[in-house]
Amino acid sequence: MHEASQFLTVSLSVSYKKDKFVFRDFFLEMKEREIIGLVGGSGSGKSTLALAILRLLDSKGARVSGTLNFKGRNLLELREFEMRQIRGREISLVLQSPTSALNPMLRIRTQMKEAWRAHRRDCDGQAAIVEALKSVSLPTEDAFLKRYPSEISVGQGQRVLIAMAILHSPALLIADEPTSSLDPITQLEILELFRDINRRTGTGILLISHDLFAVESICQRIAVLHEGRILECGSLTEMYSAAAHPYTRALLRSSSRVRRATASSQG
């Protein structure tokens, strides 16, 4: 069996109406411990893919067909109670906006404990919570844990989401536009944090973004998504030397302009 197929192989078609496909014959393979970037514009299907992998499209009236193999199991064939054991434990999701993803009525400590109790009840999880917070460079003192989401910065909120996502040491972390609401400096810090998580724990990371410049520094491979299909997939070097599709070449040109402008402003 191919190495990638032992970890994650996505071969899907997704539609909401009979003739309206979000994906048609979408295919993506991911190796164990890999960081892969999925880059595409608005409406290309990036967030739909994240929800499809977690089997969260069922309630939205989507028709999903194909195979979704994760560590030797086709997730599309699992019963819902089996998927609940996988979500948040083996596959975790980091959303783009802590403002909407965190419950504004609950303290940070309470939300961390709820994330722990979703899969573990044999202990209170305090040690794991402290370790997760430390790993994302957040305070572990009561003064911080007693705060509500509105009492911390957006960057801290994003780190809380990441801490919750890695609490159960998942094999796969899906990050859906995790830097889009952050300032440039915090964006770089969060991207470096993902790289550190991957190096320390071996967690595979699927980094979804509209911004090639934001993901190219930490991804071993980049897949370009356009109108529900992967146009090209490879290292950035391979794409610069042999990009075949006009959309990919346009992305690369745009990224190069942003990189030059950033370097100029910092110089």
- Within a domain: 84: yes
Please report which confidence band the pLDDT of residue 184 belongs to, taking 50, 70 and 90 as the band edges: confident
Q: What is the per-residue pLDDT across 214-265, written as a single tens digit (0 to 9) for each?
A: 788 899 999 999 888 888 888 878 887 777 788 888 888 776 544 544 444 4
- Within a domain: 85: yes
- Within a domain: 121: no
Q: What is the per-residue pLDDT across 71-84, written as a single tens digit (0 to 9) for each?
A: 999 999 999 999 99
pLDDT for the residue numbered 256: 57
pLDDT for the residue numbered 214: 76
- Within a domain: 117: no
- The tally of domains found in the chain comes to 1
Report yes or no: 26 and 13 within 8 Å, Cβ to Cβ.
yes
Range of the domain at 85: 4-90+170-266
Query: Model pTM?
Result: 0.90
| CATH at residue 31 | 3.40.50.300
Could you tell me which residues come within 8 angstroms of residue 85 by beta carbon, excluding any fewer than 6 positions away?
119
Could you tell me which residues come within 8 angstroms of residue 219 by beta carbon, excluding any fewer than 6 positions away?
35, 36, 37, 207, 236
- For residue 87, the SS3 value is strand
**Better-predicted residue by pLDDT, 256 or 43:** 43
